[in-house]
Structure 1
Amino acid sequence: MGLLERARSLAPADREILADLTVVLSWAGRDREALARFATLGEANAPAYALAAAAVSARRSGQTSRAVRLYRLAMRRGDDSLETRLGLALAEAARGDAAAARAAVDAAEAIAPGNPRVREVAQAVDRTLQPDPAAVANRLRSSARTLGVERATADAISASPGASPATIAMLSDTLMELGRPFDALIVLEGALRANRDDRALRRREALALASVGAPELALMRGQGVLDVAEDRRIRNAANAFLVRWGAQIAAPDPRDPASRYARTDAALAAIDAAIAAWTPLGAEAAGAVRNARLDRVVALRDRDRMAEALVEADALREGGALPPYVREAVGDALMAERRPEEALEEYRAVVAADPAALNPSLGLFYALAELRQWQEAREIADRLERETPAFRTLRGPEPPAEEWARVDAVRAGILWRMWGDDLAGAEAEADPLAAAAPMNSSLRALRGDIWRMRGWTEQALEEYETALTNDPNALDLRLGRTEALLERRRWADARAEIETLGREYPANAAVRRLVRRLEIHDMRLFEAEVTGGLQRGNQDPELDVRTRLWSAPIAEDWRVFGGFNLRTGNTVNGYLTTYRAAAGAQWRVPEAIVTGGVTFDMEGVDRGGAFLNATIRLNDQWTLDGTGEITAADTPLAALRAGIHADAAGVGITWRQSDLREAAASFRVMEFSDDNTRLIGFARWQERVMNLPDWKLDLQPYAYATSNTRDNAPYYNPERDLEVATTGALTWIAWRRYERDLRVRFIATGGAYWQENYGWSPVVALRWENQHNLTDTIALSYGAGWVRRDYDGLSEDSASVTAALRWRF
């Protein structure tokens, strides 16, 4: 070097000396001096070997772009050496051009295949191109904070091709931290194609798969690489997925319990196996065992094993609070077990944790409605309808999809009206929905239920049967149809369907109610009624006691009965007590109910008799009635005391527009044995004018008129009379719980009474009555009242009592 410096001092502009000095200085590692001498020489005058030496010094000095230019210029001027090509690869890698760096390595390999130096540089290039994984993760987190998660995710995906496994692992971990497991899988997918045996990447793939809801696939892909705790956690997630799958996916044969519950049974078996395997491990697996048992509560609910679900939940509460999804299942089980007060508490907790969740909100609505907390139930129904959109937005270019949950949300408002007896309001909402969605079995069943509850059973039956042609397995349609068959007195058809439903859905609450209804239908019936006080047509108060015992149905359509009546009271002719024994049969078919029998009276008039009553159903609105009696049961007690009996016959017609409106008229003739003929006419109109969930008010204007052909009869026998009045009946549903309830009725009548030769006088009556359904087989009513009316111009005041019992056994 000293010789070169002395030679340069003698000839400072000599290009060869400057070129040699650049090379020697670069060899010596004196890169700054080498580049200074090279600058004096100039690129234009430099030979290829000097360019290559300057490129090395530039690369080592961090001037990577200059180094790349000098290497390529040296190669153009004839330097085709291996070291120059490898130097270019290192420079390209240093400035971050991975493609150019690897192309330079490939070119060097082509001219020197198998050369260890090429392999050494290739590894150096790879190390240079791979950034520090921790630094990559930190840059992504910073980008997410400053530019947003979407931008950070895009950067991670673009940085993944060709990245080292360590960098891929960091990218995946960071994306999982950012809540982007699907994007983590995208990053992992390419790396795993080249590194299938990389355990760290396989483990991360399994964790990401579990996070996106594919735990079964996660277990399969992560076999042998997950730690024990991770395997338990993902296996619990897989079992929970099986539980959800069993509840949401329609069975191949929904009528077969084994098929319907096959997936849920498989989930329960998997959960039970996991619990059995992990429980002996003690504290190590205690968390996993608890999680498995929590999922088991949900599976038991889905399996309709409600009592077991509640026992399991109670045991789990001892170890801590239950999570919301389990409390929702507990609420459902409590509702199925008819414990709505407790269910209410569970649903409230779940809705408080997630106010937007539909199913617990519906559960809360059902519990409130069962407890007749109508205002809050209505608020929930309105909120669900308001907040559940008709369409939901999808990711990407897809158009919005129909939100099927809205049907359940809107249905809640309709049910609120149905259960509150606002059937007209429910129909107004349900009818257009069902008409617009004729293939929706749920809406069609709902409309059929409303029509049936309004009394239009034929119309409802047609609705159910038409909709069943589109969806023959729809349970709600089948249930509604069976209810309608019972109400239409198609006993054999109803029995066959109930037996079928009982086999197919033995745990379903609605099916159990139908089975119970059939059981009650098949029971014997005892009826007893007591009335006391002043009755129209009798001038003096009397006490009537009537009993009747009915057999169980015979050959579906027939029942036989026997009964006993007692009447006692004062008359103008003295005190009298009469006894009547009766026996007969009743025939009940869809078109008619016909009841006939024989009677025998003792005391007053000892005489046999007979009766025949028929009610003919024309359609959902019109009904005809006909009666005929030998020795009429309502012969005045004073007439019987005088040895007079009466025969009677009558006809009537009833028009029932709906549950809110009804009208009827009847005409009756009584032929007394003293040659008196009494004609009786009656007409009424009934209108419900208030129809709140717990309060009902019905008004019934009516007219009642009689005429008699004989004067001076020994019983109350006006030549002609007419009563015109209006009765208002206020009903308060004071309490109701499933089949048991208490209705309190306040009834007031006000009007006028006209009697030939006596003119008009007021009629006033007040009555209170309690109606109890004590069980689904025992009903009891009792009450008292007061009436003031005129007889032959004289006002009579009388207290009255009523009591009745219906007992099926």
Structure 2
Amino acid sequence: MVEFKRMCVLPSRRPLSACASACAPAAVVLFSAYAGLESKAALAQGADTGKPVVFMVAMADDPGAPVPRARPVQSGDASTPPRPDAAPTIYAVVAMQDVPQASVTDTGEAAPAHTVAPPPVHAPVHAPVHAPVHAETVAQAAAPSPSEFEPQPTAQSAPQNTPESASGSASGSTSNSTPGSASNSTPENAKPGDSPTTSGNEPPTVSMPAAPPPGGAPQPSPINPLTPSASASDVPEPNDDVRRRVFALATSGGAVRALDEAKARPDVFTPVDVASIQELDIRQQVRGGRAKVRAMTSADRFDALDSAIHEAEEFDKQLPSTPEYSEVRAALAGDRTVAYAARGRMEDAVAAFETIPPHSAISVEALTGVGDAYSYLQEPAKAEQVFRRAQDQETATTPDTATLGYQYGTHTRLIDVREGLFYSLTDQNKYTQAKQVLDDIHAALPPAAEVHPWDVANDDYLRYYRLLAQYQIYVGQTSTGLAGLQKLEEQVPFSSEVRNAQADATLGMGRTRKARDMYSASLTDHPDNIEALAGLGRSSLALGDYANARQIDGAFDDTFPENGSVRSFKRDFAAYRAPVVTVELNGEHGNSVLADNEFASDTTIYSPPIYDYWRIFSHTFFGYANTDIGNTSRTRTGVGGDYRNGALTLTAEATRSMGGYGRTGGNGEVSYQFNDYLSASAGVDSDSNALPWKAYVEHLWGKSAQASLNFVDGDQRSASLSYAASRYSDSNFNQEIALSGTQRVFTTANQFINVSLNLSTGSNTISNATYYAPGRDYTAEVVAMHQWAIWRSGEKALVQRFYVTAGAYNERGFGTSPEFGARIEHAWTFSHDIALTYGIGVLSHAYDGSREFSETAYATLTVPF
């Protein structure tokens, strides 16, 4: 890769930024340069004494570097020795008539009117003296960014590449250079007619300019801004140097100035060239707007980005739909993708990205932006594809020309791409591949012993260990993952990322109060941390603190539409605010002691929240059964309301059962959550739906009451103790006590096994009823449940559960008999929290000494509108 440096001599008292502007657009004077190169005497007679001779040196750069590096022009200063591997090229330039031109600021924008730059020269004659530069090498050259045109302190140096025999001693020259900037050098003893010559006093070869096209119109040029038109010979034409400089300026942060210069030279730049530079200008506006979005939390954070989006959309409308503009349109679509994703307009980002032809060059920024958009829209498979493509481009040995314009300033790094890839894989339950991504991140990190406190690798190490801990939690190694996060917190106690990861894991385990306290503590130290505030909102919803959740939703408003954590909270909050319909269906066949066939449906419709904590609902139960003593059906409807505020939940319902023996009744329930582990509930029902079906055939009704004490330790273990009692209208009093416990015994990625032990006993005061009512019975069961996460795509998932039951049943008067059963269940989660669960099972059980074999089926559907 070749990097061009410019040294020019202009009158003193002119700033370096003005010098750079003056030398750039100089006009070509071919005949005087050609004549002057024949001899030193001829040059002395032909050159204008008021026009200094300008030299330009091109130093060879590292051809393997993906991004050009700015470097000062080599001089005779002992502190900056010339590179041994550099192949310098010296150009002799004769400055001619001055033309006024505006200066440029370090941001690439035109300077104010009161800032007057020295008048530039016309296009110079670039006469290579040594080692001509080939077009394919120069195509990768970089130009200085606008900030490098600032005046710098001068330093004394003697140019080593100019033979002293041409112009006398050059030891008193003044050199002014910065990386990638122009340099001023004026030999003290130089005469107006002197000119540098090659060793051996051989005159240099001068390349004559090509004839202009007929009519003065510029010929079409390649669309790629870094691939200027090639000359017929190995020596580039003067216009090629102008094109290279302007395009390099455009890709290095100076697109505004480059656009002005391109428009001022219609003989050099075609309309396609101008469109390419204008696209780079928009790209840099998008980059600046995105940086502002990331750095601010106020409501005006999108002002600059919205302006860039508007300009990009208008420019897209103006672009002709002809083939020569195809690459410009593709690059502009990439810019719009980045802008829309940063703005939170994810559907627009995807739509813009999908207009790019499949084989077009796409920047890493655009690929990462649409990857974030796909993840946001719960399409992780598509996100994985674009993140992998971005990773390939970031790790490729060849330069990524599509990303030019982003290498100066904040841009996407390889670890950013891999983090996005990691989450897209975990959102598909591809944990083996996600672990490989973590290994790639770790392998790319420098040795810890070589990392300094100020290195960015410190943050990269922190990010790696945070992702590793999250991965361990995802695959069920919860204790190991939390221990890793705890160790990180001890090393960086005020890191909001680590503390938020701890709180997220705690919330996922069901310890909502602890998670809420952790989010609150993080916000105390980082009041503007958006992820912590979103986490506090989610924990508030889980705890029933809906007023606080509503305040957080109002605080977010539409200020952070691009943030994934905010999106998750807003999705949960919208689901809470939505009306909900729940339908439960179940049926059984073959258990003749209870019923030959039975079917029941239970439907509940909830209203949106009223004053945050109140809801009203409508409830309808319908059941049908045919038995050996007759058929029956039961319908009961009711309306009620519930109150959910923090740890307390109250429900009350007025009911009416239909038919000739219908009754008016009511039911209610109260529950209280003492802490993250312990809760209790109690309820009553004056017209119960839980009587045996043969009791309803006999037109009986019953009252019931129940109470329970529950213990839950995340998803690892749980226990419950319950008591239920029912009084039937025939004076039968039924009681039941049950104790159950569940323990996680095996965990791996996507699968786990729980084992439950259930113990229960029941009694009835009437033993000779027409319905099944044993005087005393006992049940002991062991249930093993295997869960397998078959498929997942973002919030959409399919989980399979398989239950195996084995135990013993003892009925007073009939002895003990074994029981066994099995069932399989699928649980679907669709978009917008729509859930569907269904299953089938079989059970072998003895009743009154007679074994029954029955089949069951059930389904539950929950739909938030």
Contact 2:176/2:185 (<8 A) preserved: no
Q: Which residue of 2 aligns with 1:555?
A: 611
Counterpart position of 1:443? 498
In the aligned structure 1, how far is the partner of 2:313 from the partner of 2:580? 48
1:733 is aligned to 2:789: yes
The answer on whether the counterparts of 1:690 and 1:696 sit within 8 Å (CA) in structure 2 is: yes
Question: How far apart are residue 276 of structure 1 and its match?
Answer: 8.9
1:332 aligns with 2:324: no
Q: How does 1:459-608 map to 2 (within 5 A)?
A: 459-508=514-563, 510-533=565-588, 539-541=594-596, 542-570=598-626, 573-602=629-658, 606-608=662-664
1:348 corresponds in structure 2 to: 388
Q: Which runs of structure 2 are paired with 1:45-444 in the superposition (5 Å)?
A: 157-158=77-78, 185-186=177-178, 191-192=183-184, 210=249, 215=254, 240-248=283-291, 253-256=296-299, 259-265=300-306, 267-268=308-309, 294-317=334-357, 320-355=360-395, 357-389=414-446, 400=455, 402-420=457-475, 423-444=478-499
The corresponding residue for 1:113 is: none
Cα shift at 1:482: 1.0
- Whether the 8 Å contact between 1:384 and 1:410 is mirrored in structure 2 is no
**CA 1:172/1:334 → structure 2, altered by over 3 Å: closer, same or farther?**
farther
| Native 8 Å contact 2:516 2:540 kept in 1 | yes
Deviation of 1:804 (Å): 2.5
| Aligned residues of 2:177 and 2:183 also touching (Cα < 8 A) | no
Partner of 2:200: none
Identity %: 21
CA contact (8 A) 1:598 1:609 kept: yes
Alpha carbons of structure 1 residues 228 and 599: separation in structure 2 relative to 1, 3 Å: same
Which of the two has greater helix per residue? 1
Deviation at 1:419, TM superposition (A): 4.9
Query: Is the CA contact 1:531–1:801 (under 8 Å) kept in the aligned structure 2?
Result: yes
Deviations 1:44-102 (A, max 9, x none): xxxxxxxxxxxxxxxxxxxxxxxxxxxxxxxxxxxxxxxxxxxxxxxxxxxxxxxxxxx
CA distance in 2, matches of 1:315, 1:688: 49
Shift of the 467–642 alpha-carbon distance from structure 1 to 2, 3 Å rule, reads: same
1:525 to 1:714, Cα distance in 2 relative to 1, 3 A: same
Q: Deviations over 1:163-209 (max 9, x none)?
A: 999699999999999999899944887942769xx999x99998899
Aligned mates of 1:537, 1:481 — CA distance in 2: 53
How far apart, in 2, do the equivalents of 1:280 and 1:578 lie?
Answer: 71
Q: What does residue 59 of structure 1 align with?
A: none
5 Å-filtered alignment, 1:732-771, equals: 732-771=788-827
Give distance in 2, aligned partners of 1:301 and 1:570.
60
Matches within 5 A, 1:632-781: 632-776=688-832, 778-781=834-837
TM-score of the superposition, structure 1-length normalised? 0.70
SS of 2:769's equivalent in the other structure is coil
> In structure 2, what is the equivalent of residue 457 of structure 1?
512
Distance between the aligned counterparts of 1:633 and 1:661, measured in 2? 31
Task: Give the aligned length.
Answer: 667
Distance 2:591 2:543 in 1: 34
Deviation, 1:787, is: 0.7
**Is contact 2:250-2:258 (8 Å) kept?**
no
Distance 1:437 1:756, change over 3 A: same
Are residues 650 and 280 of structure 1, via their aligned partners in 2, closer, same or farther at CA, if it must alter by over 3 Å? closer
Deviation for aligned residue 1:452:
1.1
Q: Which residue of 2 aligns with 1:623?
A: 679
**Which whole-Å CA distance do the structure 1 matches of 2:535 and 2:711 have between them?**
24
Q: 5+ unaligned residues in a row in structure 1: which ranges? A: 1-119, 124-131
Contact 2:587–2:600 (CA under 8 A) maintained in structure 1: yes
Contact 1:385-1:410 within 8 A present in 2 as well: no
For the pair shown, the structure with the greater C-alpha radius of gyration is 1
Matched residue SS, 2:488? helix
Per the alignment, residue 32 of structure 1 pairs with none
Counterpart of 1:22 in structure 2 is: none
Q: Secondary structure at the match of 1:403?
A: helix
Deviation at 1:283, TM superposition (A): 9.7
Check conservation: 2:736, 2:762, Cα contact below 8 A: yes
**2:768 match: secondary structure:** coil
CA distance in structure 1 between the partners assigned to 2:446 and 2:735 by the alignment: 64
Q: Displacement of 1:473 after TM fit? A: 2.0
Distance in 2 of aligned mates of 1:285 and 1:570? 76
What TM-score results when the alignment is normalised by the length of structure 2? 0.66
Deviation string for 1:516-537 (max 9, x for gaps)? 4333333333332222227999
- In the alignment, the residues of structure 2 paired with residue 401 and residue 327 of structure 1 have an alpha-carbon distance, to the nearest angstrom, of 23
Alignment deviations for residues 667-717 of structure 1 (CA, whole Å, 9 cap, x no partner): 222333444433311111112233334323221111011133443333322
Task: State the alpha-carbon separation in 2 of the partners of residues 791 and 534 from structure 1.
Answer: 15
Helix, strand or coil at the partner of 1:504? coil
Name the counterpart of 1:69.
none
Bigger CA drift: 732-741 or 457-466? 732-741
Counterpart of 2:343, as a letter, is R
Deviations 1:300-324 (A, max 9, x none): 4333344444444444427834344
One-letter amino acid of the structure 2 residue matched with residue 626 of structure 1:
A
The offset of 1:260, in angstroms, is 1.8
Distance 1:509 1:173, change over 3 A: farther
Amino acid at match of 1:254: T
Q: Distance in 2 between matches of 1:721 and 1:737?
A: 47
Looking at structure 2, the residues matched to 350 and 392 of structure 1 have their Cα atoms a distance apart, in angstroms, of 30
For 2:538 and 2:815, the matched residues in 1 are separated by 52
Q: Write the distance in 1 (CA, Å) between the matches of 2:350 and 2:836.
A: 35
Bigger CA drift: 410-419 or 346-355?
A: 410-419
5+ long unaligned stretches in structure 2: 1-40, 45-52, 82-87, 94-125, 149-174, 193-237, 396-412
**Structure 1 residue 454 displacement after superposition:** 0.8
For the Cα contact (< 8 Å) 1:585–1:595, is it kept in 2?
A: yes
Q: Which amino acid is the alignment partner of residue 255 of structure 1?
A: S
Per-residue deviation at 1:476? 1.0
Post-superposition shift, 1:644?
Answer: 4.2
The answer to whether the 8 A contact 1:781-1:805 is kept is yes
Which deviates the most, 407-416 or 630-639?
407-416
Give the whole-Å Cα distance in 1 for the aligned partners of 2:483 and 2:573: 32
